[in-house]
Amino acid sequence: MKMKLYLSLTSPYARKVRIVVQELGLGDLVSEAVVDPFNAPADFLVANPLSKVPTLVTEKGETLPDSKLIVEYLQTRGRGLATLPRGAQRWILLRRQQLAEGIVDAAVAMRLEQALRPAEYVYQGWIDRQTAAINRALDALNSEAAELLHDGAIRTVEISVGVALGYLDFRHAHLQWRSGRERLASWYFGFAQRASMLASQPPAGA
Ligand SMILES: N[C@@H](CCC(=O)N[C@@H](CS)C(=O)NCC(=O)O)C(=O)O
């Protein structure tokens, strides 16, 4: 029996997990089950009462209902990602990763506001706040882009940044995140060519 990964092909959180699976060489151990968390099948709700993707069920039946938990777990199962150092550099890297994860949180919040709410309930002030947060975090990442790894053994930091930028392209292209952020754009241009990034692209038109 394989691990079962519940996911949606458009979720950036699920994309991060799919990239980690591939980078760690665990593809043969994981079967993917595409679900719609807004129209959830019963077995998925048993695995994750919160009805969020991604959710992993291990071979032993343990359930992991969050991308961070899943990534931490998968790193105990495979090799291929560079581990974070101890000491001061660790916190610099984790802060950078958190900025990328915060961009995803803000971008998903915007998407839900724009795509799921009836038009009369959409709150532009909320969208503006998320946009401002995304732009500030992008500026910070741009100023640190020289420290992001391109190839070889990357870290979860780079995966988080790559997923965040890919999601902005997918759902919020109008933000034109590359504008004025040439260093980050140049890094992403190379990073987006990794096999794991190419294989996990969201379907066009979804
Ligand atoms: N903290 C969770 C967030 C997962 C999440 O919000 N996924 C979205 C899809 S992008 C979802 O399933 N939403 C359904 C809902 O909010 O009810 C993680 O990192 O896995």
Q: What b-and-e string marks burial along 93-124, b requiring 16 or more CB atoms within 10 Å of the CB?
A: beebbebbbbbbbbbbebbebeeeeeeeeeee
Question: What is the pLDDT at residue 138?
Answer: 98
Mean pLDDT to the nearest integer, 125-145 = 98
Domain match, 120 and 59 both: no
Find the CATH number of the domain harbouring 120.
Answer: 1.20.1050.10
Question: What is the pLDDT at residue 152?
Answer: 86
**Nearest CA, atom 2, ligand 1:** 66
- Strand, coil or helix: 7: strand
pLDDT at 111 over 90: yes
Handedness of CA 47, 106, 177, 183 (dihedral sign): negative
Average pLDDT of every residue of the chain: 97
Mean pLDDT to the nearest integer, 153-168 = 97
Q: Determine if ligand 1 sits within 6 Å of the CB of residue 37.
A: yes
The better pLDDT of the pair 108, 205 is held by 108
Q: Which of 74, 102, 129 marks a domain boundary?
A: 74
> For residue 54, how far is its CA from the centre of ligand 1 (angstroms)?
7
> For residue 29, how far is its CA from the centre of ligand 1 (angstroms)?
23
Domain match, 183 and 103 both: yes
pLDDT at 150 over 90: no
Q: Give per-residue pLDDT as tens, 51-80.
A: 999 999 999 999 999 999 999 999 999 999
Domain match, 149 and 112 both: yes
Domain match, 100 and 56 both: no
> For residue 180, how far is its CA from the centre of ligand 1 (angstroms)?
30
Q: What is the pTM of this model?
A: 0.97
Return the number of other C-beta atoms located less than 10 Å from residue 147's C-beta. 13
Return the number of other C-beta atoms located less than 10 Å from residue 35's C-beta. 22
**Nearest CA, atom 11, ligand 1:** 52
Q: Give per-residue pLDDT as tens, 16-64.
A: 999 999 999 999 999 999 999 999 999 999 999 999 999 999 999 999 9
Domain match, 114 and 52 both: no
Q: Are 96 and 86 in contact (CB under 8 A)?
A: no
Question: What is the pLDDT at residue 98?
Answer: 98
Q: Determine if ligand 1 sits within 6 Å of the CB of residue 145.
A: no
**For residue 109, what pLDDT band results from cuts at 50, 70 and 90?**
very high
The better pLDDT of the pair 153, 160 is held by 160
> For residue 182, how far is its CA from the centre of ligand 1 (angstroms)?
30
pLDDT at 159 over 90: yes
Question: What is the pLDDT at residue 68?
Answer: 98
Q: Determine if ligand 1 sits within 6 Å of the CB of residue 13.
A: yes
Question: What is the pLDDT at residue 182?
Answer: 98
Domain assignment of residue 54, yes or no: yes
Domain match, 159 and 109 both: yes
Q: Determine if ligand 1 sits within 6 Å of the CB of residue 10.
A: no
Q: Cis before residue 54, ω within 30 degrees of 0?
A: yes
Q: Determine if ligand 1 sits within 6 Å of the CB of residue 67.
A: yes
**Which of 7, 13, 48, 50 has the most ligand 1 atoms within 8 A of CB, as the residue to mutate?**
13
Q: How far apart are CA 25 and CA 77, in angstroms?
A: 10
**Which of 15, 52, 64, 73 has the most ligand 1 atoms within 8 A of CB, as the residue to mutate?**
52
> For residue 14, how far is its CA from the centre of ligand 1 (angstroms)?
9
Domain match, 21 and 106 both: no
Domain match, 47 and 93 both: no
pLDDT at 151 over 90: no
Q: Which of 36, 52, 74 marks a domain boundary?
A: 74
Find the CATH number of the domain harbouring 26.
Answer: 3.40.30.10
Q: Which residue's structure tokens are 């916190």?
A: 91
* Domain coverage including residue 16: 3-74
Q: How many domains does the chain have?
A: 2
